[in-house]
Structure 1
Amino acid sequence: MPDLLSALLLGILEGFTEFLPVSSTGHLLIAQHWLGARSDFFNIVIQAGAILAVTLVFRQRLWGLATAWNRPDNRDYLLKIGVAFLVTALVGLPVRMAGWELPEAVTPVALALIIGGIWMITAERIAERLPGPGSITWTVAVLVGLAQVVAGVFPGTSRSAAAIFIAMLAGARHRPAATEFVFLVGIPTMFAASAYAFLELWKDGAMGDEAWGDVGVAFLAAAVTGFVVVKWLLGYIRSHRYTPFAVYRIALGVALLLWLPAGR
């Protein structure tokens, strides 16, 4: 398959799965067993394309927060986004600097998909039984930051799934509110991760080794697809549970373990 076509398909896959709680990184790693392996730089940076999409979707919300900083509720919300991002950075950066890399085997991704699916079903059921709609507290902000690190270290976990459901259990029991907060926290998180990936590539003197055309195609594909998916998902979760995504994760994980028992 031509490299540009492969990059296009991976970009579409990234945009489709970044915000659904099914693990975009896990799907990329699985797909690359057929479409050809890509660098960690490619896998990280094209996620920024999907994050660009969510930035556009929430542009009015972001503008409202930024221009009404003097309002205590807006200031409080922005500070909580900042805390979640800082927790992710302070815990995740040492992990990255220690030389952590994405796994190549499918088996750990399949196991994370199954465990994450069970976690989603359990967490959503428990959160629905908790009293009141809840709110975005400082505890929620810290736990969302930690959940993002866990998802980054264990591909297949899903950043959105880990963060949304820990937020719901910790206090933000309203699905749309928890989802919005996690999506907004993802904006500085993934842009910072992409910037760090650029810095690493530059420091290693490998700028010329990267297929920039492929990265650009995948980035744009992820942005367009991500925009459509986010718009749909925000409407879907107002009246539906995340259970279908959990079932999909479990089914996919089991299928992968059966078809690729050696994790090849």
Structure 2
Amino acid sequence: MSDLLAALLLGIIEGITEFLPISSTGHLLIAERWLGHRSDLFNIAIQAGAILAVTVIYRQRLWGLLAAFAGRDLRAPFDPLGVDVRPAEVRNYGFKLMLAFAVTAVGGLLLKKMGWELPDTVRPIAWALILGAFWMVAAEQLAARRAASEGERTAIAWRTAVLVGVAQVVAGVFPGTSRSAATIFVALLAGTTSRAAATEFAFLVGIPTMFAATGYEFLSMLKDGGIAGEDWNALGVAFVASAVTAFVAVKWLLRYIQSHRFTAFAAYRLALGVALLLWLPAGG
């Protein structure tokens, strides 16, 4: 397989899996066993492509947040659920996003100081996929029961923001957990019974989180001279592939969850996890 084709496939895998609740890190670690290990810069680039796509999708939401903090009333572009909200409520939502990001940033920096390294073995990925599948189903069932008895809740509580930040740190420690799955279902368990509202918050808080992590890693590489000898053609192909496929995947997901539960993703995680465990004795 040519290097450009391998880069294209890795970019597509990153774009599809980054924001779907199935774990991009787990899929990439597995895919690299067949498509070849890539540099840290390559991995940063394809993640940046996925972040760019989500930023474009949520550009009106982000502008609404900035406008609210600047004292301007831009209600309609902000709210994804069609509810008219006041600038004060938008600012309150923004502060909760900042809190979730701050918790993630502090946790991530502590892990860096402790010298933690991302594990790259298949077995923990497989178990994380399996356990995450059962957790997803349980969380959504609980949210559905709450919605039936108490009505749908779209509000994000302060406690939810803190727990979402913690969930992002945990997802970074255990490949296969999925950052999007961890944050969405923690929000559902914490009392936000609306799939759309939980997903919206998870994706919005993921934008500064992933930009910060990507920027931190890139600056570290520049400082250490880690960009020499990079195949820029392959990197460019992968970046574009990741951005395009992430855009399509997120737009599809946002439509899908309007009328469907996350059960199909849980079934996929379970099937993939079991397949990996069965594969390990022969090829692991």
Query: Which of the five TM-score ranges fits, normalised by the shorter chain?
Result: over 0.9
Which one-letter code corresponds to 1:221 in the other structure? Answer: A
Which one-letter code corresponds to 2:151 in the other structure? Answer: G
2:34 is aligned with 1:34: yes
Listed as ranges, the gaps of 5+ residues in structure 2 are 72-86
2:245 is aligned with 1:225: yes
Distance 1:263 1:169, change over 3 A: farther
Q: Provide the C-alpha distance between the structure 1 equivalents of 2:283 and 2:104, rounded to a whole number of angstroms.
A: 29
Write the mapping of 1:159-170 to structure 2, written as runs, cut at 5 A: 159-170=179-190
Q: Provide the C-alpha distance between the structure 2 equivalents of 1:74 and 1:128, rounded to a whole number of angstroms.
A: 26
Per-residue deviation, 1:262: 6.8
Which stretches of structure 1, 4 residues or longer, exceed 6 Å deviation after superposition? none
> Any conservation in 2 of the 1:114–1:254 contact (CA below 8 Å)?
yes
Aligned length: 264
Write the mapping of 1:13-28 to structure 2, written as runs, cut at 5 A: 13-28=13-28
> Any conservation in 1 of the 2:19–2:246 contact (CA below 8 Å)?
yes
| SS of the residue 2:268 aligns to | helix
Which one-letter code corresponds to 1:18 in the other structure? Answer: E
2:262 is aligned with 1:237: no
Distance 1:154 1:41, change over 3 A: farther
* Worse-superposed segment, 65-74 or 248-257: 65-74
Distance 1:120 1:263, change over 3 A: farther
What's 1:171 paired with?
Answer: 191
2:200 is aligned with 1:184: no
* Worse-superposed segment, 228-237 or 200-209: 200-209
> Any conservation in 2 of the 1:45–1:197 contact (CA below 8 Å)?
no
Distance 1:262 1:84, change over 3 A: farther
Distance 1:263 1:167, change over 3 A: farther
Distance 1:261 1:169, change over 3 A: same
What's 2:281 paired with?
Answer: 261
Per-residue deviation, 1:50: 0.8
Per-residue deviation, 1:229: 0.8
2:151 pairs with 116, 132, 135, which one? 132
Distance 1:19 1:256, change over 3 A: same
Write the mapping of 1:41-56 to structure 2, written as runs, cut at 5 A: 41-56=41-56
Q: Provide the C-alpha distance between the structure 2 equivalents of 1:199 and 1:99, rounded to a whole number of angstroms.
A: 17
1:96 pairs with 112, 123, 129, which one? 112
What's 2:79 paired with?
Answer: none
> Any conservation in 1 of the 2:100–2:164 contact (CA below 8 Å)?
yes
> Any conservation in 2 of the 1:7–1:217 contact (CA below 8 Å)?
yes
What's 2:136 paired with?
Answer: 120
| SS of the residue 1:163 aligns to | helix
Instruction: Deviation per CA, 1:3-52: give whole Å up to 9, x if none.
Output: 22111110001111111100011100110110001234433442121111
> Any conservation in 2 of the 1:106–1:263 contact (CA below 8 Å)?
no
| SS of the residue 2:131 aligns to | helix
Per-residue deviation, 1:157: 0.2
Root mean square deviation, CA, Å: 1.5
Which one-letter code corresponds to 1:57 in the other structure? Answer: I
Q: Provide the C-alpha distance between the structure 2 equivalents of 1:176 and 1:35, rounded to a whole number of angstroms.
A: 35
Per-residue deviation, 1:199: 1.5
Per-residue deviation, 1:123: 0.8
TM-score, structure 1 as length reference: 0.95
What's 1:79 paired with?
Answer: 95
| SS of the residue 1:101 aligns to | coil
Instruction: Deviation per CA, 1:177-205: give whole Å up to 9, x if none.
Output: 01011001111011111101112112222
